[in-house]
Amino acid sequence: MNRISLFAMSAAVLMTACTDYRAQINEAHDEYAREHNPSSLPFYSGCQCDVLQYNMYKVGDKEYNFINPKDASAAENHTIRFVLSDCNDEIADLSPVNQNFSNIVNTTTVNSQGSGTYWIDNDLNVSYLGIEYPETVEMKVYASNSAGALDLISCPAVHINADVKTSTSSQTSTQTSSTTTVPTSYVCGNMWCGPTDNLGQVMTNLEYEKDYDSETSGYWFDFGDYAGFEGTSSISFPPEVEANEYDNFYGPLIEAYGGIKGTVTLGPGYEYPYAGLGFNLLSGDQEGADIDFWKGLCLVYQSTINFSVELVPENAAVVTEYNNYKASVPASKNKMTVLDLDWSKFRQESGWGVTVPREEVLANVATIQLKFSGTAGTTGDFLIQSIGTLGSCHSF
């Protein structure tokens, strides 16, 4: 064995000895810290931070521009939402700290979404939006465990009052060729996603033995007690949105707001006021389809009042006498909410109509409705962002 080989072996032995010795020192330090100062121990939260809103677009690896809306009065139009994902269960507290702004952020709130996900909403001062002077919100979040050890999480920079840019949507259709701003991060289900839709059509992807025109299925429509019951309930939409050249209104509305935005007003004239939104699963003739295999529905929404999701079977006037299976959706006034509704949550009311087994209805559903009902004089604002089969609503 030559001198070089002996030297290499000696160096390797010495390096191993030093490494073992260093490990012993680190272990001793950690043991001491556990007894005297646990907060000094290393803590890794696992959290990854990004933005989660349709009202901004990506301009760099970790930079976004906030799109200044024409109407900044609605909460979703002046909120920057950051999302922390993949966080581990050792987190005891989250402390967000905003940097590089004057008074543009009014309040910052943290809301747990479960499964290691947190939404951090920054409510902006509306008077600062749409002015020439640019601002930048750069947020850092301190995550701590039960021992008080900290992990610093950096979030993307969001530029306020920046120039608005659009990118051509990847969707193509014979009905529209407009452009849309597609967000980098959002929550959506597998059937309809407001932030990426410019048609106003839910893609149910159902196969059916009858011949039907797939272009008639899935399009959103609104309804109310004014049809057949002489009621006065209604839904109003942002006045600046107009139907496009193909007489499609929901496409431009969804493209402008990343979902269906409106105000519902329950009026007098009918004893049980109602109004809502819906879409047919197969055709404009309201043919039924078997959706039992969906296991349920998921919904991404924001609403100042409660509403329900209703399953309308084919020939509902005879099958249920309109006492349809429905599930309750609670109000969510200040944040976008993801809700899973398995079929067991859908029930008929008692005391009227025809009682039908749930499985029979699920085998022949023609329309899904989001229905607002209650007493005359009730009013509320809503934004519906997405709908999908059970468990499919997640971050993209």
Q: Which residue has the higher pLDDT, 259 or 161?
A: 259
What mean pLDDT is predicted for residues 179-183? 45
pLDDT tens-digit map of 210-231:
544 455 578 999 999 998 888 9
Query: What tens digit of pLDDT does each residue of 55-73 get?
Result: 777 777 778 888 765 556 6
The pLDDT value recorded for residue 177 is 32
Whether 261 shows a pLDDT value over 90: the answer reads: yes
Cα–Cα distance between 302 and 385 in angstroms, integer? 8
- If asked whether residues 127 and 269 sit together in one domain, one would say no
* Residue 177 counted as domain residue: no
Read off the CATH number of the domain in which 266 is found: 2.60.120
Pick left, alpha or beta for residue 34 (phi over 0 → left; psi -120 to 50 → alpha; otherwise beta).
Answer: alpha
> Does residue 241 have a pLDDT over 80?
yes
Q: Do 371 and 292 fall within a single domain? A: yes
Residue 174: the pLDDT is 32
Rg (CA), the chain: 27
Residue 109 has pLDDT above 80, yes or no: yes
Same domain, 226 and 335: yes
Question: For residue 170, is it within any domain?
Answer: no
CB proximity list for 233: less than 8 A, separation 6 or greater: 224, 225, 226, 264, 265, 266, 267, 270, 273, 274, 275, 372
Mean pLDDT across the chain? 80
Final residue belonging to a domain, choices 142, 160, 178:
160
For 191, the token pair is: 């059937």
Q: Strands 150-160, 63-66: parallel, antiparallel or unpaired by DSSP? A: parallel
Reported as a pLDDT band with limits 50, 70 and 90, residue 106 is confident
Residue 228 lies in a domain: yes
- Do 242 and 353 have their domain in common? yes
At 384 the pLDDT is: 96
**DSSP designation for 118:** E
Q: Mean pLDDT throughout 89-106?
A: 79
pLDDT of residue 233: 96
pLDDT at 13 over 80: no
**Domain match, 346 and 302 both:** yes
Q: Is residue 166 part of a domain?
A: no
DSSP 169: -
User: How much is the pLDDT for 86?
Assistant: 86
More reliable by pLDDT, 377 or 163: 377
Query: Does residue 171 fall inside a structural domain?
Result: no
Q: 252 and 348 share a domain? A: yes
Same domain, 361 and 255: yes
- What whole-number distance in Å separates Cα of residue 39 and Cα of residue 376? 57
- The pLDDT assigned to 14 comes to 47
Instruction: Assess whether 117 and 215 both reside in one domain.
Output: no
Q: Residue 173: is its pLDDT beyond 70? A: no
Which own/partner pairs from 324-331 qualify as long-range (CB within 8 Å, at least 24 positions apart)? 324/348, 324/361, 325/358, 325/361, 326/371, 329/299, 329/301, 329/303, 329/370, 330/306, 331/303, 331/304, 331/305, 331/306, 331/380
Length of the chain: 396
pLDDT on residue 331: 93
DSSP string, 4-29: HHHHHHHHHHHHHHHHHHHHHHHHHH
What b/e sequence results for 296-311 when a residue is b if at least 16 CB atoms lie within 10 Å of its CB, and e otherwise?
bbbbbbbbebebbbbb
pLDDT at 284 over 50: yes
Residue 39 lies in a domain: no
Nearest Cα to 83, choosing from 72, 100, 68, 96? Answer: 96
If one counts the domains in the chain, the total is: 2
Q: Between residues 184 and 56, which one has the greater pLDDT?
A: 56
- Residue 67 belongs to domain spanning: 48-160
Whether the predicted pLDDT of 375 surpasses 90: yes
What's the CATH number where 58 sits? 2.60.40
- The tokens describing 360, both together, are 């029979």
CA dist 353 and 349 (Å) reads: 8
pLDDT at position 136 is 84
Residues 386 and 239 in one domain: yes
In angstroms, what CA-CA distances link 137 with 119, 155, 318, 353, 358? 16, 10, 57, 55, 50
Verify that 230 and 360 share a domain, yes or no. Answer: yes
Q: How many CB atoms lie within 10 A of CB 244?
A: 16
pLDDT score of 35 more than 60: no
**Model confidence over 286-331: pLDDT tens digits?**
889 999 999 999 999 999 999 999 999 999 999 999 999 999 999 9
- Whether 319 is in a domain gets the answer yes
Q: Which residue has the tokens 């100062």?
A: 37
Q: Which of 135-149, 176-190, 368-382 has the lowest mean pLDDT?
A: 176-190
- Residue 225 lies inside a defined structural domain of this protein: yes
Same domain for 334 and 246: yes
Mean pLDDT of 118-127: 86
The reported pLDDT for the residue numbered 179 is 38
In a shared domain, residues 112 and 202: no
In this prediction, residue 175 has a pLDDT band, given cuts at 50, 70 and 90, of very low
